[in-house]
Structure 1
Amino acid sequence: MSKPMPAESRPALHELFATHRQTFINAAARILGCRSHAEDVVHDAYLKLNGSVLTPGIQSQSGYLMRVVRNLAIDLYRRQALEKRYAGSEEEGMYIPTPSASPEAEHEDRQTLEAISSALQSLPERTRYAFEMYRLHGCTQKEIAEELGVSPTLVNFMVRDALVHCRKTLKSLDGNRG
């Protein structure tokens, strides 16, 4: 296995990150909601790509770099959300009211969430990303279009397609229950 090349021998990668650093930070900050974490993500992306043995045609691939930054930001966001969900003291847990829903209703709710999650996972990555950023994170379609390098109209179609797909999934789930 060959060693990663130092930054001096990868001037194109170094120059690309230096030139587009603010763009990458802004994209990561939109996902994370924190500029400090976004800067960490961009730094991690640089280290990851600089340490990679294979970085194909990086001179013309700022889109590839944006995808790496975005994916790392999404991973961090999900990890933080998961940690936040399970963090808390024992005292806090003592004051949580018991659910009033019946076990059957809870089971149906869980099935619905699993079906929607599965439906979203079956979508193309770009479509799923556009839908999640629009519906869950409140980004505008124009912002998403700029980030993905596509037209706002295409983002509109991707969000609509994802929504239609989720509705079909729910309809078939309701049909199976009834």
Structure 2
Amino acid sequence: MAEQLSTGKCDSPLLQAFVDNRSILVKIAARITGCRSRAEDVVQDAFFRLSAAPQITSSFKAQLSYLFQIVRNLAIDHYRKQAMELRYSGSEEEGMNVVIQNASPEATHINLATLEHIADALEELPKRTRYAFEMYRLHGVPQKDIAKELGVSPTLVNFMIRDALIHCRKSSRLG
């Protein structure tokens, strides 16, 4: 297939230079990535970038230099991405042995009971205080927006949220 590409003519002199020197570009990328298959991917990415790039009218030597630099930069980016992925990933077998904190039935029961206590505590609050707390803590609505909606000052909203939080903490300790 590479021979088929090199015998065809491209619209752009830069793309034609790319097609004519494809095997050299793959070798350059392979030296950086350490893998011919990944190098092919890098060269393909370079081709797509070049085909979308504006026409460059410069000497043949400058075009080749530009092609080599693009492939080199893409190969380095690909290598860095691969190195980062290897640093933060593990094998599938490692993932099977990960211990999930608080995954025991007892911990799940305790967590659900705590949530029930907090829900009960929220029900004990005045409606406006509960609304301000839920909008701020659960839905991320800014306090100034809650204040506008309730027709109160942002300072009062801040105090309502604080009071609700204190009430929830007290009731979760008692439960």
- TM score, norm. by length of structure 1: 0.44
Q: Which has the larger radius of gyration?
A: 2
